[in-house]
C-alpha cells in the first residue's frame, strides 16, 4: 500500500463497478446494499488520514514516483517489477494451500520455478508468456475464505486503505513470507528494497488513474473506499469458488426498458 490508495488503484481496481451509488450523500458510495456507516464507522479519522496522505503524495511520493519513471528505462523497471512479483509467489503458494486451492498453488509454484530459472531470477516473466498468468493470494483473502468478516474499513496514514481483517492478514503475510524468512526477515535491507521497488512501480503505473479519480470523482475518498472493498470482496469470492455474476452493460436498466416496437404499417392503408 502507498499514499492516497495508489497501490490499490494501480492493481487494476474497477472504479465504476456496478453497485456503486453516484448520487446523494457521498458517503453512500459503497457496496450495494450495505450502508457506508456500518462498514466505515471510523469515517472521521479515515477522511483526515486520507487528506494527510494526499498532501504527502503531492509533495513527496508522487514526484519521486514520476521521477523514477522518467529516469529508469522501461525495460529496467519492468524487470525489477517482475523480480518483485516473482518473489511473492511462495507466499501465494502457502495461502493457496491454506485456501484448499491446489491448482492455484501449482500454478504459483510453476511460475516461481520457471521465472527463477529460465527467467533469470524473475527478470523475465517467461511463465506469463507461456500462459501461466499470475493469480496472487494473501492471508487476508485466506481469512475471508473461512468466513472471517472484513470488519471496519480503515484508511491508515502512509499505508492507505485496508480493513481490520486485511490489516491483520497483511501483518501475517509480511511476517510469514517464505522469501523474507529465508533472507533474514522483514527488517532487512533486502526486504525494504523489495517494498520500495514494489511501491514505486505501483505508484508510477497508477499515476494517471489516481489523477483521474482525484480530479473527476465527486468524492475521491468514497470512490477509493468502494473500489477497495469491492475488489477485496471479489478476491474472497474467488477463493471460495463463487463465480462472479456481472451484469451485461449493454442491457437497458429496469427504468430504461426499450419502447415497444411500432406496429407494422398496412401498405393498403398507407395509400391516400
pLDDT in tens, 72-91: 999 999 999 999 999 999 99
Residues 137/107, Cβ–Cβ less than 8 Å: no
Measured torsion, CA atoms of residues 230, 131, 84, 240, in degrees rounded to the nearest 10: 30
Q: What is the Cα–Cα distance from 68 to 213, expressed in whole angstroms?
A: 22
CA dist., res. 25 & res. 29, Å (int): 8
pLDDT at residue number 2: 42
CB 227 within 8 A of CB 10: no
pTM reported for the whole predicted model: 0.76
Mean of pLDDT over the chain: 82
CB 138 within 8 A of CB 169: yes
Q: What's the grid cell of residue 12? A: 487494476
Question: 42 pLDDT exceeds 50?
Answer: yes
> How many of the other CB atoms lie within 10 Å of CB of 152?
15
Reported as a pLDDT band with limits 50, 70 and 90, residue 5 is very low
Report how far residue 198's alpha carbon sits from residue 200's, in angstroms, rounded to the nearest whole number: 6
- What are the CB-based long-range contacts (under 8 Å, 24+) for 124-127? 124/79, 124/82, 125/82, 125/85, 125/86
What local confidence, expressed as pLDDT, does residue 187 receive? 86
30-44, 55-69, 73-87, 173-187: range with lowest mean pLDDT = 30-44
Mean pLDDT across the stretch 169-173?
94
Number of helices (H), then strands (E), belonging to the chain: the values are 14, 2
pLDDT in tens, 219-272: 999 999 999 999 999 999 999 987 554 444 344 444 444 455 555 555 444 444
Q: Which residues, 6 or more positions from 94, have their beta carbon under 8 angstroms from its beta carbon?
A: 176, 178
- CB 25 within 8 Å of CB 230: no
How far is residue 71's CA from residue 79's CA, in Å, rounded to a whole number?
A: 15
Residue 177 near residue 136, CB atoms below 8 Å: no
The confidence score (pLDDT) of residue 138 equals 96
pLDDT tens track for 10-22: 333 333 333 333 3
Contact by Cβ (8 Å): 108, 98: no
What distance in Å separates the CA atoms of residue 263 and residue 266, rounded to the nearest whole number?
9
User: Which pLDDT does position 37 carry in this prediction?
Assistant: 58
Which residues are registered as beta bridge partners of 25?
A: none
pLDDT above 80 (res 58): yes
Percentage, residues of the chain above pLDDT 70 = 75
Extract the C-alpha cell encoding 113.
520455478
pLDDT at position 119 over 80: yes
Amino acid at each position: 500500500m502507498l499514499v492516497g490508495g495508489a497501490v490499490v488503484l494501480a492493481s487494476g481496481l474497477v472504479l465504476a463497478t456496478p453497485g456503486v451509488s453516484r448520487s446523494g450523500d457521498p458517503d453512500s458510495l459503497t457496496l450495494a446494499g450495505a450502508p457506508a456507516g456500518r462498514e466505515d464507522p471510523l469515517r472521521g479519522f479515515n477522511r483526515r488520514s486520507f487528506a494527510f496522505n494526499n498532501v504527502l503524495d503531492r509533495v513527496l511520493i508522487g514526484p519521486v514516483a514520476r521521477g523514477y519513471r522518467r529516469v529508469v528505462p522501461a525495460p529496467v523497471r519492468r524487470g525489477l517489477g517482475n523480480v518483485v512479483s516473482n518473489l511473492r509467489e511462495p507466499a501465494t503458494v502457502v495461502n493457496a494451500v491454506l485456501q484448499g486451492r491446489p491448482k492455484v498453488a501449482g500454478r504459483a509454484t510453476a511460475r516461481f520455478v520457471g521465472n527463477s530459472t529460465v527467467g533469470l531470477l524473475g527478470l523475465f516473466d517467461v511463465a506469463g508468456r507461456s500462459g501461466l498468468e499470475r493469480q496472487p493470494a494473501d492471508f487476508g483473502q485466506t481469512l475471508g475464505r473461512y468466513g472471517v468478516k472484513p470488519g471496519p474499513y480503515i484508511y491508515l496514514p502512509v499505508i492507505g486503505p485496508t480493513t481490520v481483517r486485511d490489516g491483520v492478514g497483511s501483518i501475517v503475510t509480511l511476517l510469514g513470507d517464505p522469501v523474507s524468512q529465508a533472507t533474514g526477515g522483514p527488517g532487512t535491507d533486502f526486504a525494504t528494497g523489495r517494498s520500495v521497488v514494489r511501491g514505486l512501480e505501483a505508484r508510477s503505473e497508477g499515476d494517471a488513474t489516481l489523477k483521474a479519480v482525484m480530479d473527476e470523482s465527486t468524492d475521491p475518498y468514497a470512490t477509493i473506499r468502494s473500489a477497495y472493498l469491492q475488489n477485496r470482496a471479489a478476491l474472497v469470492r474467488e477463493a471460495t469458488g463463487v463465480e462472479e455474476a456481472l451484469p451485461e452493460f449493454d442491457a437497458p436498466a429496469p427504468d430504461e426498458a426499450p419502447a415497444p416496437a411500432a406496429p407494422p404499417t398496412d401498405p393498403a392503408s398507407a395509400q391516400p
